[in-house]
């Protein structure tokens, strides 16, 4: 339910997550407890509350044992939160640890994980790209995102939209029209069911407003305005 809320304009995402975390803790369900904490960290990142995101991601790694993919997912949240804080070394350590967890999951076919089935090496690569951009390296982030977007096999449309939104930010400083094009691509995926993608394009929309003389920028700005006022 928290995912449904976050992918619409419903304000109830936090409430559903709090309830899930409380009940998982009461039941002693370690995997669900870790997953709920990871999702709370993700929401904190989306809301710009980096201190809380770091604390929640660290807490998500305490429950043990949990399936390898869930642990990898928790590590990606830690990496993204640390990158947003500017912590380069620890970000790299968390990404490397997430990849090790996934390699472990691949060798244990009995390690079932319904919650984090989407967390694979490509997902971790996308998080690494996002981290590199947050740490001030848009060039390498761009290369990773473009490679991922050239092969969309088995990737959710929400993740694809988010990747376009993040790639657009990488282009902001040297190719405004390409930034607008990727922003428009993100909004097209958002039209298919994720307001979270629309929210991800907000920093791009703000940064591009003073460049509305460019036709592609103006088209994106108009599409974004409609997206945030009518959904």
Is residue 124 located within the same domain as residue 154? Answer: no
| Nearest in space to 101 (alpha carbons), one of 130, 81, 127, 83 | 127
Specify the pLDDT at position 190: 83
Specify the pLDDT at position 106: 67
Specify the pLDDT at position 158: 87
Residue 41 forms part of a structural domain: yes
Residue 223 forms part of a structural domain: yes
Is residue 61 located within the same domain as residue 92? Answer: yes
Specify the pLDDT at position 112: 61
Specify the pLDDT at position 118: 85
Is residue 10 located within the same domain as residue 82? Answer: yes
Is residue 189 located within the same domain as residue 231? Answer: yes
| Nearest in space to 160 (alpha carbons), one of 191, 186, 193, 195 | 186
Specify the pLDDT at position 156: 80
Dihedral sign for Cα atoms in the order 124, 126, 128, 130: negative
Specify the pLDDT at position 24: 78
- CATH at 90: 1.25.40
Cis peptide before 85 (omega within 30 of 0): no
What is the domain count for the chain?
2
State which residues form the domain around 210: 149-231
pTM of the model: 0.89
Specify the pLDDT at position 195: 85
Mean pLDDT for each consecutive 10-residue tract of the chain (231 residues)?
54 68 82 92 92 96 89 96 97 97 72 76 96 97 95 78 96 96 93 82 96 97 92 55
Residue 131 forms part of a structural domain: yes
Is residue 10 located within the same domain as residue 105? Answer: yes
Specify the pLDDT at position 111: 55
Choosing from 107, 136, 165, the residue where a domain stops is 136
Chain centre to alpha carbon of residue 134: 12
C-alpha span between 148 and 36 (Å, rounded): 27
Residue 76 forms part of a structural domain: yes
Scanning 47-175, the segments in alpha helix (DSSP H) are: 50-60, 68-85, 88-106, 121-134, 138-149, 157-170
Specify the pLDDT at position 138: 96
Specify the pLDDT at position 27: 83
C-alpha span between 175 and 179 (Å, rounded): 6
Is residue 128 located within the same domain as residue 156? Answer: no
Is residue 124 located within the same domain as residue 202? Answer: no
Cβ atoms of 115 and 68 within 8 Å: the answer is: no
Specify the pLDDT at position 220: 97
């Amino acid at each position: 339910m928290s995912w449904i809320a976050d992918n619409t304009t419903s304000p109830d995402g936090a409430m559903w997550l709090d309830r899930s975390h409380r009940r998982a803790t009461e039941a002693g369900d370690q995997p669900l407890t870790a997953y709920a904490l990871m999702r709370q960290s993700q929401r904190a990142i989306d809301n710009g509350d980096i201190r809380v995101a770091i604390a929640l991601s660290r807490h998500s790694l305490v429950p043990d044992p949990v399936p390898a993919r869930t642990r990898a997912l928790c590590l990606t949240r830690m990496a993204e939160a640390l990158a947003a804080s500017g912590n380069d070394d620890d970000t790299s350590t968390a990404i490397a640890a997430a990849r090790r967890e996934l390699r472990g999951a691949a060798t244990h076919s009995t390690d079932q994980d319904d919650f984090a089935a989407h967390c694979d090496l490509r997902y971790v690569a996308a998080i690494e790209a996002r981290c590199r951009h947050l740490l001030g390296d848009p060039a390498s982030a761009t290369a990773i995102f473009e490679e991922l977007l050239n092969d969309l096999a088995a990737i959710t449309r929400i993740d694809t939209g988010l990747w376009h939104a993040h790639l657009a930010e990488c282009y902001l400083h040297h190719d405004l029209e390409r930034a607008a094009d990727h922003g428009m691509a993100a909004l097209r995926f958002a039209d298919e069911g994720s307001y979270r993608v629309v929210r991800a394009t907000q920093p791009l929309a703000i940064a591009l407003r003073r460049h509305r003389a460019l036709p592609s920028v103006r088209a994106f700005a108009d599409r974004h305005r409609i997206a945030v006022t009518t959904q």
